[in-house]
Homo-oligomer: A and B are copies of this chain.
Amino acid sequence: MPRPKSKGSPDPRKSSSSGVSLKSLAEHLGLSQAAVSFVINRSPAAKSIPHRTQELIRAAARELNYRPNHLARSLRQQRSFTIGVVVPEISEGYAALVMSGIEDHLLQEGYFYFVVSHRHRSELIEEYPLLLQQRAVEGLIVVDTALAEAVDVPSVAVSGHRDVPGVTNIVLNHSRAACLALQHLADFGHRKMAFIKGQAFSSDTEVRWEAVRDAAKKIGIEIKEDLTGQLEGESSSPLLGYQVTQKLLACGEQFTALFTFNDISAIGAIHALREAGRRVPEDVSVVGFDDIQSAAFQNPALTTVRQPLREMGVIAAEILLRRITAPAKTPHPKEIMVEPELIVRASTARISKPA
């Protein structure tokens, strides 16, 4: 009853999935399903079918608007042309940019993808990869998420730092990123620097902090316990940076520069600084991270360490598809590193002579 009955006469209003199956198309043509399938797919087996017949088949397919059922095809071929993408949350600027790169490459190559966001709930982080595999994805891209254990499809982690078997990590050169930022501030004469670390769950947090400490040591900057804050909370609102900065200000320790974990928190931080009567950049220089789109249009425009997020998404997709289609040829790189770039704008300035 709910199924549209397929009468002998093809209904031209019915398009695609609704009416026309390979079977009905073959019947219409008076040929076998196999013959039609060979021609439609340009399979090598079609070489024994004369051109005339091939054209008849193609014409009929066009006319009846035949579109092969992707489910059936995937089931038989054991190829779904589908990828699973796991992100912490979608609204976040970071993940959205990476996703946009991923999408670009995947769709270009004829793959579709499922997106799931886990909002840092660990049971979802474990469950979603399994659900995705049940849905026959051929590979997984996880963004800023620590994959619990090995999965049995090829996987790529963007900003993954764990050494998980079968997973290729796409990472930023955090050492270089930290050097760029600190050297820039040091060049401007800053010595008393404050820092805002990322949330504990963010996979970049730890690596970046290591890099910052190394860079500070190399450049000869002291990192004071009192002047290091940490973002807390799930959301990616500037509010988090605002709150941490208030705490940093409250501790009483002086600082002339602030290096934040991302641009979003830098925006909140500037707000807090201004509320406390500190001018940016005259009293405090602020360096952000990521270079999100609105960074250039903050007031003052944000000096930041640019992370090639979109490109990282593209690379992730490229590597993954390469691993899927030519597993033998690609000896599966463990890590691919991309380079940051310092974008100097108006939120940093030479330190003013102490009054």
Contact = CB atoms under 8 A, between A and B. Distances in A.
Interface stretch (A139-147, A251-259, A294-302): A294-302
Contact of A100 (B69, B90, B133): B90
B103 A99 contact: no
Centre residue among A72, A130, A299 by max chain B CB count within 10 A? A299
A267 B297 contact: yes
Contacts of A113: 114-115
Given A71-B74, A71-B80, A237-B293, A114 B114 contact: yes
The 4 A-B residue pairs with the shortest CB-CB distance in the complex, in nearest-first order: A238-B297, A90-B100, A299-B299, A91-B100
A23 to B, nearest CB: 14
A135 B310 CA distance: 27
Interface in A195-229: none
A134 B297 contact: no
A334 interface: no
A192 to B, nearest CB: 24
Contact of A134 (B67, B270, B310): B67
A16 B136 CA distance: 10
A243 to B, nearest CB: 12
A268 interface: yes
Interface of A: 3, 14-18, 67-72, 74-75, 78, 80, 89-91, 93, 96-97, 99-100, 103, 107, 112-117, 130-131, 133-136, 152, 236-239, 242, 264, 267-268, 270-271, 274, 293-294, 296-299, 310
Contact of A299 (B14, B107, B270, B293): B270
A123 B74 CA distance: 25
B297 A136 contact: no
A152 B91 contact: no
Contacts of A68: 134
Contacts of A236: 293
B136 A71 contact: yes
Copies of this protein chain in the complex: 2
A157 to B, nearest CB: 19
Contact of A136 (B69, B239, B267, B271): B69
Contacts of A116: 103, 107, 112
A238 B293 contact: yes
A134 B70 contact: yes
Given A70-B134, A71-B71, A78-B3, A152 B242 contact: no
Contacts of A75: 69, 71-72, 75
A99 to B, nearest CB: 5
A13 B96 CA distance: 34
A112 B134 contact: no
Contacts of A270: 297, 299
A280 B137 CA distance: 51
Contacts of A237: 293
5 contacts: A14-B152, A71-B80, A90-B103, A239-B297, A271-B297
Contact of A17 (B99, B114, B152, B271): B152
Contacts of A310: 91
Nearest to A310: B91
Given A75-B72, A152-B16, A117 B100 contact: yes
Contact of A294 (B67, B70, B134, B238): B238
Contacts of A264: 293-294
B70 A16 contact: no
